[in-house]
């Protein structure tokens, strides 16, 4: 009997026996099959068992802010970067989540969220909590990070703090490079209030006519042609808006400058495409992106805390924002500008340098010569763990080698997000130009990357690549690559199934896993899935894959129920899951039932967590941990005890409605014992009391980063860097 994820997705009796790609691959017959279990009857669960997803997301961003506050474990410039990440995260949250919430309020929708909160109540709660968090961010920057940077000679100064010798070249820079691109816009009877683009920094200027004494208002947009913080001598910086504000007399000649301040607007930036009515998804999205540029209502107004009431009243009236949506903050606004400080050459204030290594199963010796991946994959499957394993010498090399290999006949690839100078895209173009059959499934609805993905899609099409723009009603979020190679006696397929995007840049910053394989059963599954995505099939059954929207939720709940049955039968049972977010009520309820039945449940969640941990009578056997650090934890891992024969998978899917119902997602089962052991070790480390993490309890998240004596606990990511660097000599 073939080992399958669950009987619901493949009939074991009808499945052909799996033949390993080589003797080195584990024999499927050695893996115990999953036994069908009777459905676990629904048990009454209490109301109020779900945490609100939006407030949970704010709790996640609070953990990001706590990294900026962590002087024991996080170097100073990295703490400044976490302040910038906090701001960037919050921007996207308002542009998408709060924008959607405001749309529901405007439409008069009175449906409560899963947590029981009504839209207006939730909106008020979010704004109140956000005010607390941004106030805390400002305090951390002003009272802690900024003074510590200054103590290291890295100073962010106001214009009044500059020396005359520093002001002179800035004045020249203003007249040469800044003034020519500035456009002052007056507001008066003949000049209506201008459109304020989202996330732009603007100067609000109050003017007085010298003859009449009449007051007027003008707006100046701060251009993005220069860095947000202009560098002076050494590591001294001044905000660009300060330079502009100090030369307003050059813009408003003959007028008296009464007052000036900075402000920033966040707008609804979510994309809405009615695919069912569109002749072309691509055409519909292009039109929607054009509409995004204008007419998007504001969802937040940030102003300086010393703004005068006249200007504040004008801004709130013209932008139609409520008092609750106004955030009064100390200058400088928009701390995303702190990203630029990471360019400061101060190694001691940054994380130690880190160079990913080639996975030793792909190349036993690290050399300048590229490894032959096809030969390596004939011997064994390879489980990759990025960024510790180099993406460039594994996944990228896999695609590049396939493009250059004359024996390769076809390449099929999903692209959700990729880099601006993508070697993956270049390799696909090279392959198509060489006469290979190349399919690229480009998800053009990847939020905030839509325009870039449209450009890549056009470029690929021109090169002769068969481009598919996803499926109507679904985002293609799975991470798949398939190569078909003529090896003389047979055609052999090779595949990569991952948890992260095919983006070489983010692969150095995101923690992800991926499976490279020539296993005949897996590659057959992937081939049939690609045919489903690019053609017209009704395929929903796979032997080693779970595929959303049809199979992931059902398959996972069946396996959770299986663990309940195993526990009741007195055999080993347990559930361990690592995801970015979990909000799906059906999965959460299944985990609650497992906990109540006595099954130990461990959840490793980076971001949103819609369930409550440690609640008597509900989740006493359920532990939730969160780990944040220099790398963005991004992999999705699934482990089930399965009576002592662990059932383990990796994939692209979080446990959210969008992933389970509105996206094409893929989970693949791991069967090689070393791969299973590797995943088990990650869970062991994550849930070890000696590992720095955040613990979710009945009262919320608790930071656990020091021991009883105040000494830092193990940093898991730093530990893995050390362990993985030593691994080569052990293979």
Tokens 């204030």: give the residue: 349
Given 123, 386, 477, 634, the catalytic residue: 477
**Residue 453 has what pLDDT?**
65
Sorting pLDDT into bands at 50, 70 and 90, what band is 2? very low
Q: Please, what is the average pLDDT of the chain? A: 87
Q: What are phi and psi of 263, to 5 degrees?
A: -150, 165
pLDDT tens digits for 190-238?
778 888 989 999 999 999 999 999 989 999 999 988 888 999 988 999 9
Sorting pLDDT into bands at 50, 70 and 90, what band is 27? very low
pLDDT of 17 > 80? The answer is no
**Residue 548 has what pLDDT?**
94
Q: Is the pTM of this model over 0.85?
A: yes
Quote the CA–CA distance of 504 and 400 in Å, as a whole number: 13
Q: What are phi and psi of 615, to 5 degrees?
A: -90, 125
pLDDT of 545 > 50? The answer is yes
pLDDT of 678 > 90? The answer is yes
pLDDT tens digits for 185-200?
988 777 788 889 899 9
**What's the order of all strands across the beta sheet hosting 201-208?**
185-187, 215-221, 201-208, 256-267, 298-304, 326-329
pLDDT tens digits for 353-392?
989 999 999 986 556 567 789 999 999 999 999 999 999 9
**Residue 367 has what pLDDT?**
61
pLDDT of 512 > 70? The answer is yes
SS3 409: strand
Better-predicted residue by pLDDT, 36 or 620: 620
Active site residue 477: yes
SS3 323: helix
Q: What are phi and psi of 541, to 5 degrees?
A: -105, 125
Name the percent of the chain lying above pLDDT 90. 72
Name the percent of the chain lying above pLDDT 70. 87
Helix ranges, 202-346 (H): 240-245, 281-292, 309-319
H/E segment holding residue 602: strand 601-605
**Residue 296 has what pLDDT?**
79
pLDDT of 5 > 60? The answer is no
pLDDT tens digits for 296-310?
789 999 999 999 999
- Reported in sequence order, the residue ranges of 142-296 that DSSP labels E, i.e. its strands, are 155-156, 185-187, 201-208, 215-221, 229-231, 236-239, 256-267
pLDDT tens digits for 110-140?
788 888 999 999 999 999 999 999 999 999 9
**Residue 703 has what pLDDT?**
96
Mean pLDDT of 678-705: 96
User: In this structure, what token pair is assigned to residue 517?
Assistant: 């394989």
pLDDT of 241 > 50? The answer is yes
pLDDT of 709 > 60? The answer is yes
pLDDT of 708 > 70? The answer is yes
Classify strands 155-156 and 700-704 as parallel, antiparallel or unpaired: unpaired
Mean pLDDT of 148-156: 96
pLDDT tens digits for 651-676?
999 999 999 999 999 999 999 999 99
CA dihedral 208, 210, 212, 216 (to 10 degrees): -20
Calculate ∠ Cα 631-637-639, nearest 5°: 145
Sorting pLDDT into bands at 50, 70 and 90, what band is 541? confident
The reply to whether omega before 414 is within 30° of 0 (cis) is: no
């Amino acid at each position: 009997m073939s080992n399958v994820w669950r009987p619901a997705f493949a009939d074991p009796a009808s499945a052909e026996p799996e033949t390993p790609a080589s003797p080195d691959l584990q024999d499927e017959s050695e893996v115990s099959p999953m036994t069908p279990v009777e459905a676990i009857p629904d048990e009454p669960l209490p109301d109020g068992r779900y945490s609100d997803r939006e407030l949970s997301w704010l709790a996640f961003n609070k953990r990001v802010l706590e990294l900026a506050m962590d002087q024991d474990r996080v170097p100073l410039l990295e703490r400044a970067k976490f302040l910038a990440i906090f701001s960037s995260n919050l921007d996207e949250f308002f542009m998408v989540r709060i924008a959607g919430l405001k749309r529901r309020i405007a439409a008069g929708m009175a449906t409560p969220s899963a947590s029981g909160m009504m839209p207006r109540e939730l909106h008020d709660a979010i704004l109140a909590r956000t005010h607390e968090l941004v106030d805390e961010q400002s305090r951390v920057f002003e009272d802690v990070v900024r003074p510590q940077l200054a103590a290291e000679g890295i100073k962010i100064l106001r214009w009044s703090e500059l020396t005359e010798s520093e002001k002179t070249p800035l004045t020249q820079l203003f007249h040469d490079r800044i003034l020519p691109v500035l456009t002052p816009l007056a507001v008066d009877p003949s000049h209506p209030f201008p459109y304020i683009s989202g996330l732009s920094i603007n100067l609000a200027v109050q003017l007085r006519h010298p003859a009449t004494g009449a007051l007027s208002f003008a707006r100046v947009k701060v251009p993005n042609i220069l860095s947000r913080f202009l560098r002076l001598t050494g590591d001294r910086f001044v905000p660009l808006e300060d330079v502009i504000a100090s030369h307003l007399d050059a813009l408003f000649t003959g007028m008296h400058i009464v007052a000036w301040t900075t402000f920033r607007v966040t707008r609804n930036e979510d994309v809405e495409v009615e695919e069912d009515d569109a002749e072309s998804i691509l055409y519909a999205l292009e039109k929607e992106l054009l509409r995004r540029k204008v007419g998007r209502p504001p969802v937040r107004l940030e102003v300086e805390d010393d703004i005068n009431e006249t200007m504040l009243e004008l801004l709130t009236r013209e932008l139609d924002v409520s008092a609750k949506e106004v955030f009064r903050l100390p200058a400088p606004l928009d701390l995303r500008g702190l990203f630029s400080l990471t360019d400061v050459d101060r190694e001691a204030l940054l994380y130690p340098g880190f160079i990913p290594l080639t996975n030793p199963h792909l190349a036993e010796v690290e050399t300048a010569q590229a490894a032959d991946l096809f030969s390596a994959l004939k011997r064994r499957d390879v489980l990759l763990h990025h960024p510790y394993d180099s993406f460039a010498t594994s996944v990228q090399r896999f695609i590049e080698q396939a493009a250059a290999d004359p024996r390769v006949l076809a390449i099929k690839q999903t692209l959700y997000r990729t880099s601006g100078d993508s070697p993956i895209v270049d390799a696909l173009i090279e392959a198509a130009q060489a006469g290979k059959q190349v399919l690229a499934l480009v998800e053009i609805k990847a939020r905030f990357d839509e325009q870039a993905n449209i450009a890549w899609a056009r470029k690929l099409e021109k090169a002769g690549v068969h481009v598919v723009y996803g499926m109507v009603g679904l985002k293609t979020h799975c991470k798949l690559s398939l190569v078909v190679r003529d090896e003389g006696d047979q055609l052999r397929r090779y595949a990569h199934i991952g948890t992260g995007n095919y983006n070489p840049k983010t692969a150095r910053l995101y923690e992800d896993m991926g499976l490279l394989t020539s296993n005949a059963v897996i590659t057959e599954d992937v081939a049939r899935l690609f045919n489903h995505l690019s053609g017209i099939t009704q395929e929903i059954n796979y032997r080693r894959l779970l595929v959303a929207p049809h199979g992931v939720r059902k398959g996972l709940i069946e396996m959770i129920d299986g663990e309940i049955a195993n526990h009741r039968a007195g055999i080993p049972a347990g559930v361990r899951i690592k995801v970015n977010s979990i909000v799906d009520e059906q999965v959460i309820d299944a985990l609650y039932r497992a906990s109540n039945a006595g099954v130990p449940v461990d959840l490793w969640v980076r971001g949103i967590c819609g369930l409550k941990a440690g609640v008597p009578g509900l989740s006493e056997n359920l532990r939730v941990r969160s780990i944040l650090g220099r790398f963005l934890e991004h992999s999705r891992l699934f482990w089930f005890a399965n009576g002592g024969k662990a059932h383990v998978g990796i994939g692209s899917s979080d446990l959210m409605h969008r992933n389970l119902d509105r996206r094409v997602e893929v989970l693949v089962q791991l069967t090689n014992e070393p791969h299973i052991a590797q995943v088990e070790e990650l869970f062991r480390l994550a849930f070890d009391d000696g590992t720095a993490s955040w613990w979710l309890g009945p009262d919320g998240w608790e930071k656990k980063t020091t021991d009883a004596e105040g000494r830092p606990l193990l940093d898991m990511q730093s530990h893995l860097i050390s362990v993985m660097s030593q691994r080569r000599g052990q293979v």
